[in-house]
Amino acid sequence: MNNKRTKPSKRIKAKARSTRPAASSSTKSRVFDKLQERVNELEETLRAIRSGEVDAVVVSAPKGDQVFTLQGAEHPYRLLVETIDEGAATLSNDGTVLYSNRSFAAIFDAQLERFIGTSIENFVSGEYVDALRALIRSAGDGSARGEIRLRDRAGRARTVRLTLTRSTQFGMETLCAVATELTELVETNEALRVTESSLRQLSGRLLQLQDEERRRIARDLHDTTGQKIAALSMSLDRVARLLDTRKPERQEALNEARDIVRMIGEEIRTLSYLLHPPLLDESGLGSAIRWYAEGFQKRSGIHLTVDISPDLGRLSTEVEMALFRVVQESLTNVHRYSGSPDAEISVVGTTDAVNLEVVDHGKGIEAGTSRVKVEGIAALGVGIPGMRERLRQLGGQLEVDFGRDGTRVSASVPLKKAKAVQPAEEFEVAVIAPSNGKSDGDATSSSDMRRRILIADDHEVMRRGVRGLLESHDEWAVCGEAFEGREVVVKSRELRPDLIIMDINMPGLTGIDAAQQIRKENPTAKILFFSVHESAQTVREVVNVGAQGYVAKSRAGHDLVDAVRNVLDGGTFFPSFARTA
């Protein structure tokens, strides 16, 4: 065995010489010179051996070369092997331990004296013996490396990396084995994995709580503050008609109050929309994306093409919110960084998943640079990693592909993780009397020729305001009230009103779903939507279900009376921004 020394080792090759007949006197001088040369060579060899430069001598003989290792030459190397932390051993082909350092025996939790001469399988748990045997068999091709599991006397699971190399020495085939303890590394990695998983779950939970809190605040602003502001606006409009207009200072003060109330209503509505898009709850992901795209185009000047599968149904609240936030974040990045004049949004629903893509044609990356797919959590800013965590919580994934001609954001969510929201079923419920204590039949008599109107809104203060505004006109009568979607469907069936004034956002069924069922039962029913939402997409939604009119609650004092009159007379009434959209 040759090993490294502090000085380069040498092997001296000597030839065995046979005796020859005595030379003639003429050749004595040449023989003497050769003998002197040979003596010098032997003296140099002896000096090299003494100085430690030689650890073996090769002697050539008629029967072949023979190697003679000098006694003590392997001592430094054996000392090195015995003191290293790595386990080192020599095994026979059947796994018997022929030699082992103390580290190798300690890794297998064995005493060195009992370890040598026994099979290594005796120190491996039964369930992992097959893996060890497979590794030994694999070393037959030259070398093999693998990990095996051990259990110490306390029952603690341990992981060891075992490297086997086949060797032939003195005509005997053996396996040189090196064992590395990986238990601490494996346990550390597992702890990191658990910590990372916990952080991901916490991140996802925080995002979910954030969305829930945004939705709650937005709904409170819409359902409470916004409705009261709208009712106040209608009350001021009624006061304006009752006020003595001969005193201009009173009219001026009232107009100023109405303008302030209208501004407050618009600010509250804007804040509510920013916190949580109402169309996402009322009409679904497709409508919310179209609404957001319209507003984005107006704010940024970037042209958007929106392609959404016509058969895309309602999804779970979490999936719709996550995909909508991906659209928001992606378009924000397009506006801030890409410089692209346009972008495309596509949403495709299959039987197994919902796939979303946002593509721009901006700066991208420099020509010749390879395309990069972002995988790490911290590779981008706060937004997209947050979206990735949202989708991960739903079993989905997010990929961002930077190319030379733009950026592509792809999101996918499996439907098996997020059940689609089933369409509302038809139902029967008991008719609930109006809040004023009168039955619906008390509103009009059989001989009353006034046009009968049903009001559906989940806010009593709003229903009361609309009732007061309508009943100030002698040609109309309120025949009933409803505070949720299911109730308005039933009362429409029983009361057969001439007109239904209905909010979009109501409990039970939304106004959109309720209108679909009403029009299915009575195709001639006239419906006027009355909502705080002001967007062209909202108007398109109500038109698609067959409504004849739409009035924003912020303009109830100006438009509601005209809208009711137009629809009852067979016409329609829609705001100017919807007609030009």
CA distance 428 to 152: 69
**Residues 315-344: what's their mean pLDDT?**
88
Model confidence at 411: pLDDT above 80: yes
Q: What pLDDT sits at residue 573?
A: 92
Within-domain flag for 447: yes
Identify the domain boundary among 377, 395, 422. 422
529-577 pLDDT, tens digit each: 988 777 777 888 888 889 999 988 877 767 888 899 999 999 999 877 5
Model confidence at 418: pLDDT above 60: no
Domain count, the chain: 4
Q: What are phi and psi of 296, to 5 degrees?
A: -65, -40
Within-domain flag for 109: yes
Q: For the chain, what is the mean pLDDT?
A: 78
What percentage of the chain has pLDDT greater than the value 90? 15
- 160-169, 416-425, 452-461: least confident range: 416-425
Identify the domain boundary among 140, 164, 181. 181
498-528 pLDDT, tens digit each: 999 998 888 888 888 899 999 999 999 999 9
CATH code of the domain covering residue 411: 3.30.565.10
The answer to whether 559 and 573 are in contact (CB under 8 A) is yes
CA distance 200 to 204: 6
pTM above 0.75, yes or no: no
Confidence class for position 204, pLDDT limits 50, 70, 90:
confident
CA distance 147 to 95: 16
Within-domain flag for 407: yes
Tokens describing residue 210: 């954030």
DSSP letter for 573, please. Answer: B
69 and 88 share one domain: no
- 54-58, 328-332, 533-537: least confident range: 54-58
575 and 447 share one domain: yes
DSSP letter for 447, please. Answer: T
Model confidence at 355: pLDDT above 90: yes
Q: What pLDDT sits at residue 244?
A: 66
378 and 498 share one domain: no
Confidence class for position 478, pLDDT limits 50, 70, 90:
very high
Q: Which comes out higher in pLDDT, residue 85 or 347?
A: 347
Q: What pLDDT sits at residue 492?
A: 92
Within-domain flag for 286: no
Within-domain flag for 230: no
CA distance 261 to 242: 19
CB under 8 A, 24+ apart: contacts of 413-418: 413/319, 413/322, 413/323, 413/353, 413/354, 414/352, 414/353, 415/315, 415/349, 415/350, 415/351, 415/352, 415/353, 415/354, 416/352, 418/315, 418/316, 418/318, 418/319, 418/354, 418/394
Q: What pLDDT sits at residue 413?
A: 92
Containing structural domain, residue 371: 300-422
Model confidence at 69: pLDDT above 70: no
CA distance 301 to 335: 9
Reduce the secondary structure of 35-99 to three states and give it as a string.
HHHHHHHHHHHHHHHHCCCEEEEEEEECCEEEEEECCCCCHHHHHHHHHCCCEEEEECCCCEEEE
419-443 pLDDT, tens digit each: 444 444 444 433 333 334 444 444 4
2-30 pLDDT, tens digit each: 443 444 444 444 444 444 555 566 577 77
Q: What pLDDT sits at residue 428?
A: 42
Q: Which comes out higher in pLDDT, residue 119 or 141?
A: 119
Q: What pLDDT sits at residue 134?
A: 85
414 and 444 share one domain: no
378 and 469 share one domain: no
CATH code of the domain covering residue 101: 3.30.450.20
393 and 474 share one domain: no
70-115 pLDDT, tens digit each: 555 565 666 777 778 788 888 888 888 888 888 888 888 888 888 8
Model confidence at 170: pLDDT above 60: no
330 and 351 share one domain: yes
511 and 408 share one domain: no
365 and 392 share one domain: yes
353 and 408 share one domain: yes
Q: What pLDDT sits at residue 64?
A: 64
Longest Cα–Cα distance of the chain, Å, equals 164
**Alpha-carbon distances, residue 562 vs 229, 255, 363, 469, 473 (angstroms):** 21, 20, 51, 12, 12
Q: What pLDDT sits at residue 449?
A: 80
Q: What pLDDT sits at residue 567?
A: 92
Q: What pLDDT sits at residue 169?
A: 66
Within-domain flag for 154: yes
173 and 57 share one domain: no
Within-domain flag for 275: no
**Residues 271-286: what's their mean pLDDT?**
80
Identify the domain boundary among 352, 387, 422. 422
Q: What pLDDT sits at residue 294?
A: 85
Within-domain flag for 62: yes
46 and 159 share one domain: no
Confidence class for position 366, pLDDT limits 50, 70, 90:
very low
**Residues 196-214: what's their mean pLDDT?**
79
